[in-house]
Structure 1
Amino acid sequence: MITLSSTGWLLMVLAALIVGLSKTALPGSTALAVGLAASALPAKESTGTLLVLLMVGDLMAIRAYRHDADWPTLRSMAPPVVAGLLVGAVYMRVADDLAMRRVIGVILLLMAALNVWQRASRRPMAPAGGWASVGYGGLAGFTTMTANAAGPVTSLYFLSRGFDVRRFLGTSAWFYLCVNITKLPLAIGAGVVNPQTLVIDLVLVPVVLLAAVLGRRLASRISRKVFDPLVLLFTVVAALNLLW
């Protein structure tokens, strides 16, 4: 049986709060929830518990931004994401956890630096399709399979596409719901999602729902001048956490 101390429950409530906010207002901050959950639960159970909470957040985000997704971007990302998932599954068999985290952390820092340089030099925004879609999509599939760290990857790609806040959040919502639905049967088969993790989820789902509602109100008040730097900040924090 999974037992949580009062500190463990506090960490999980904070993780659920961040999940809700990340889905409707602050994309890229999900990596912080991953770290909190991993501190409160064993690795496998934290992954399974968080997966269900993320799907609840995805549904809330789609309810709020269902008409704002950029479908050409999503369609162009689908094949490389699948390829990235397969490569990640193979890589997990040959590399240890520390190596995976460091590789992903370095890649995220390089991509964040590239995004800053692109904006500073006023380079054109990345188009849907092409090498940008292949690179970001493949890396998103790889990182979500190996470290649940795809949020910063897709955030950087959507920033490079020049999306406004609603288009950004709507595209992210549909992307992650599809990815997480794909991962769910695998997680159940591996025992990562099980009756014990679902009991914890039942307690935490109301926190996700409340945070998602608050996040939607927050998003309507965030300008691009604030939103974009926040996304970059969360990306760098996630990368440093992986390297640490």
Structure 2
Amino acid sequence: MITDPFFYLCAIPAVLLYGIAKGGFGGNIAILSVPLMSLVMPPQQAATILLPILCTMDLVALRTFRGRWSKPNLRIIIPAALVGTVLAWLSFHWMSDAHIQVMIGLIALSFTLNIWLRRGEPPARGVSRWRGGIWGTIAGFTSFGIHAGGPPINVYLLPQKMEKTLLMGTIAVFFAVVNFSKIPFYIQLGQFDTSNLLTALVLLPLAPIGIRLGFWMLQKTNQELIYQLCYVFLFLTGCKLLYDGGRTLMGW
């Protein structure tokens, strides 16, 4: 088990951020968790420690949002995400985290800038099999290595302007399926060891605390503000990922 105090100084807020996001408040802030833990360990190890915690959070989130999700969307994006997960597993040894960071960063920035610079309020979009298939596959792919599936799936779901609890419940179900589907692939790749699993177990009690805090914040915030926060966090996430990935690729 990891005993370095500096690790827990980074890991505790990282886990709480993920919990708050899964509780429904500003979902894209979760993208900061792996980079935060990466200050003290390799990103892949950080993602491995987080995965059992995320799966536990997913179970709590499913209970919190029980029955409040969009079945038409889930029937499209879940199968697509599973395809993306398999593709990520197959390309695990040649697709670096930096490439994925740059890809997600460009997606997040282009999407939010398009929303903000467009004149007038864009009309709400409906469920789309082809858009859901594309963005669901990308979300499954980018979620595999660094748990960064939030921005792509938000690109698909946010323009639908669903009621806030329905939106967050749909996202909760989506990532519950995606995260549990990653477990056998992580085992096959040899990502889990005793140290990582014991460290995850120590951090596990923070999972329900973060989710309950996020759900409470969701209920106390009006819907328009929730959507605006999602767009802001998506933009900041894009900047962060583009910077981190570009710096690594450039060798800075």
How high is the TM-score relative to the length of structure 1? 0.90
Residue aligning to 2:246: none
Residues 47, 145 of structure 2: 8 Å contact kept: no
Unpaired segments of 5 or more residues in structure 2? 244-252
Residue aligning to 2:79: 79
Residue aligning to 1:155: 154
Matched to 2:138, the amino acid is: L
Residue aligning to 1:38: 38
Residues 69, 171 of structure 1: 8 Å contact kept: yes
1:203 aligns with 2:202: yes
Cα deviation, residue 83, structure 1: 3.1
1:60 aligns with 2:71: no
Cα deviation, residue 5, structure 1: 2.2
1:107-186, aligned counterparts within 5 Å? Answer: 107-116=107-116, 120-186=119-185
Residues 2, 195 of structure 2: 8 Å contact kept: no
Residue aligning to 1:47: 47
Cα deviation, residue 229, structure 1: 1.4
Residues 68, 167 of structure 1: 8 Å contact kept: yes
Q: Identify if the C-alpha distance between structure 1 residues 95 and 52 changes in structure 2 by more than 3 Å, giving closer, same or farther.
A: closer
Residues 115, 156 of structure 1: 8 Å contact kept: no
Residue aligning to 2:216: 217
Unpaired segments of 5 or more residues in structure 1? none
Residues 24, 218 of structure 2: 8 Å contact kept: yes
Residue aligning to 1:103: 103
Residue aligning to 1:193: 192
Residues 102, 243 of structure 1: 8 Å contact kept: yes
Q: Deviations over 1:74-124 (max 9, x none)?
A: 101133223333443455444444333212211221122234456x53333
Residues 188, 194 of structure 1: 8 Å contact kept: no
Residues 107, 152 of structure 2: 8 Å contact kept: no
Q: Identify if the C-alpha distance between structure 1 residues 90 and 203 changes in structure 2 by more than 3 Å, giving closer, same or farther.
A: closer
Matched to 1:69, the amino acid is: W
Superposed CA RMSD in Å reads 2.0
| CA distance in 1: counterparts of 2:218 and 2:90, whole angstroms | 38
Q: Deviations over 1:206-234 (max 9, x none)?
A: 11211212222111111112101111121
Residues 18, 33 of structure 2: 8 Å contact kept: yes
Q: What is the total number of aligned residue pairs between the two structures?
A: 242
Residue aligning to 2:70: 70
User: SS state of the match for residue 28, structure 2?
Assistant: coil
| CA distance in 1: counterparts of 2:210 and 2:100, whole angstroms | 31
